Amino acid sequence: MNELFRSLGIDSACRADGDLPVHSPIDGRCLARLRSHDEAHVARAIEAAQHAFVAWRSVPAPRRGELVRLFGNELRANKELLGRLITIETGKILPEGLGEVQEMIDICDFALGLSRQLYGLTMPSERPGHRMMETWHPLGVVGVISAFNFPAAVWAWNTALALVCGDAVIWKPSEKTPLTALACQAIFEKAARGFAQTAGAAPVPAALSQVLVGGRETGELLVDHRSIALLSATGSTRMGREIGVRVAARLGRCLLELGGNNAMIVAPSADLDLALRAILFSAVGTAGQRCTTLRRLIVHREVAPKLLPRLKDAYASVCIGDPLEAQTLVGPLIDRVAFENMQSALSAMTAAGARVSGGERVLSERFPDAYYVRPAIVEVDEQDDLVRKETFAPILYVLPYEDFDHAIAMQNDVSHGLSSCVFTNDLREAEKFLSAAGSDCGIANVNIGPSGAEIGGAFGGDKETGGGREAGSDAWRNYMRRATNTVNHSRELPLAQGISFGAIH
């Protein structure tokens, strides 16, 4: 383990005697004890980031893109090591850990191209001899607060775009996964050193990217500081409510990526082989700890007798175990609290009369200090408040439907609006699902599960999912400020709306 840390540039001096223990969910062992950053350190970091921003904003955007290109190359060189650390620190299986690093590489490639495409508009003026246009300028210091389940990719989504847009970034990772953040920062610093060696390049400002280690209190310092121009936060809806109010109180900007109670509709015409594979990955991947995890399966009554036995067989055969082992498909929950929340939800469903399959703890003798569970299938007759509540664990609620409009209504009848999908070969059903009368989620798919988004499309959702969008599309505008400019190239001074204000003689 020490060799892995050294290879990724994590200083041994910061890992031994701190107040913040970091445990691996694989076996519960303590990986490190980090020192939390205090209020004075946070204040200094924000001040340094502001100075870095002032220098970086004047670097041409294509040159800023060159830094991100070099960062992507360093991620390629360290993909295996960083992916392994992600697995050790989060418990997700190694292919998912490696996939997360690939997401980081992909967003660097995307941001590199974007560095030459930060387009504004030119629009006609109603005044003769005038030209109007909009221009986009760097915003300032961006604060990023990330969750444990994607300890690197979400930061990269924000950081790659923020850097090409001319911003500085301060990152407060989850206190459950700070080692991955320290490794990412070390990799970035290596790219920054390479940038300074390229022809004609000035050094990267020292505080352009920083990591703050700590718990809730550290994050709150970022949330409340007026020099944080944009606060991008990923986490629970409860957290988002608190952050949104506090950032709004200082009239700041925030980008919120919160929970999701995601559904799949399986119609009579669906390809059940395809649907089965999509259900399995979407519902049990990452041990059900993705914001895009499939949590509700809305199945037509004609289809359920064919699909559910096959689904239960697939659940029974899925390999649960050490996520570093090749055959494993489901690793552990992040900690005991996650396990207790899952058991509480299942107990409530059982008491309400639901039919529960799975959900029990497994491998406790091999891993007494870790929390492995068998993914659960919960069959219910109707959608109640228990089903509408998101539980961050591998629980799949199965609900029947007869009318497609009713299925869409059930899909939308939750407080979140992140991801959704329908499996159908009926063109009318597919198009209706994607229409204004269909899914109300930020992500709506046909014949593909709700999980596993690509960086080319804007990621995020509405309602209690927070309304934020990261990656893809025009998400770069989050990290810039817009100015409308009017140039008078005439010798007259007409006013807009034809207003006459007399003359000066």
Task: Tell me what the mean pLDDT of segment 414-435 comes to.
Answer: 98
| Count of Cβ atoms closer than 10 Å to residue 271 Cβ | 14
Q: Which of 100, 257, 464, 470 is catalytic?
A: 257
| pLDDT of 239 above 50 | yes
| pLDDT of 199 above 80 | no
- The structure's pTM equals 0.96
For residue 349, give the nearest of 280, 295, 409, 407 by alpha carbon: 295
Q: Which of 254, 291, 421, 441 is catalytic?
A: 291
| Structure token pair of residue 174 | 């989850």
| Structure token pair of residue 195 | 């940038």
Q: Would you state the pLDDT for residue 502?
A: 75
d(CA 59, CA 115): 11
Task: Tell me what the mean pLDDT of segment 413-439 comes to.
Answer: 98
| pLDDT of 360 above 50 | yes
Burial 283-293 (b: 16+ CB within 10 A, else e): bbbbbbbbbbb
- Report percent pLDDT > 90 for the chain: 94
d(CA 465, CA 400): 25
Q: Would you state the pLDDT for residue 504?
A: 55
Q: Would you state the pLDDT for residue 505?
A: 47
Kindly provide the residue ranges of all beta strands, DSSP E only, lying in 224-269, ordered along the sequence: 228-234, 253-257, 262-266
pLDDT tens-digit map of 108-152: 999 999 999 999 999 999 999 999 999 999 999 999 999 999 999
Q: Would you state the pLDDT for residue 200?
A: 65
Confidence of residue 11 (pLDDT cuts 50, 70, 90): confident
| pLDDT of 354 above 60 | yes
- Average pLDDT value over all residues in the chain: 96
Residue with tokens 């059930």: 410
pLDDT tens-digit map of 464-504: 999 999 999 899 999 999 999 999 999 999 999 988 887 65
d(CA 13, CA 139): 35
257 is catalytic: yes
- How far lies 174's CA from each of 120, 149, 207, 227, in Å? 36, 9, 20, 22
Task: Tell me what the mean pLDDT of segment 69-97 comes to.
Answer: 98
Contact (Cβ atoms closer than 8 angstroms) between residue 487 and residue 131: yes
Confidence of residue 409 (pLDDT cuts 50, 70, 90): very high
Cβ burial of 296 (10 Å; 0-12, 13-18, 19+) is buried
Kindly provide the residue ranges of all beta strands, DSSP E only, lying in 301-435, ordered along the sequence: 355-357, 361-362, 372-373, 376-379, 395-401, 416-417, 419-423
| pLDDT of 337 above 60 | yes
pLDDT tens-digit map of 48-64: 999 999 999 999 999 99
pLDDT tens-digit map of 249-297: 999 999 999 999 999 999 999 999 999 999 999 999 999 999 999 999 9
pLDDT tens-digit map of 321-331: 999 999 999 99
